[in-house]
């Protein structure tokens, strides 16, 4: 391959990867929005996780002990 062909392939690959990453980003944002709206997950309570990081701070969620296998 000559230099010009490689540059053309790089250009097309750059735009394809950029478009793919934009689609994935907007898909992830839509997933977060849909989960928040349906009430499945409340992401706003996780926003203060880095600030409320002490041992005596209030828990974000109570731990459920349904699955005993994960505890060991």
Counting residues of the chain whose pLDDT is more than 70, the rounded percentage is 90
Distance CA 46, CA 14 (A): 35
Domain definitions of the chain by residue range = 3-49
Local structure of 63: helix, strand or coil: coil
Give the distance, in angstroms, between the CA of residue 40 and the centroid of all CA atoms in the same chain. Answer: 16
Helix, strand and coil in the chain, % to nearest 5: 60, 0, 40
- Can you tell me the mean pLDDT for 43-71? 74
Position 49 scores a pLDDT of: 79
pTM: 0.61
Q: Is the pLDDT of residue 6 over 90?
A: yes
Query: Which of residues 47 and 11 earns the better pLDDT score?
Result: 11
């Amino acid at each position: 391959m000559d230099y010009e062909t490689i540059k053309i392939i790089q250009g097309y690959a750059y735009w394809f990867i950029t478009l793919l990453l934009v689609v994935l980003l907007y898909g992830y944002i839509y997933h977060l929005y849909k989960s928040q709206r349906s009430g499945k997950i409340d992401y706003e309570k996780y926003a203060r996780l880095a600030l409320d990081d002490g041992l005596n701070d209030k828990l974000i969620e109570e731990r459920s002990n349904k699955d005993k296998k994960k505890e060991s």
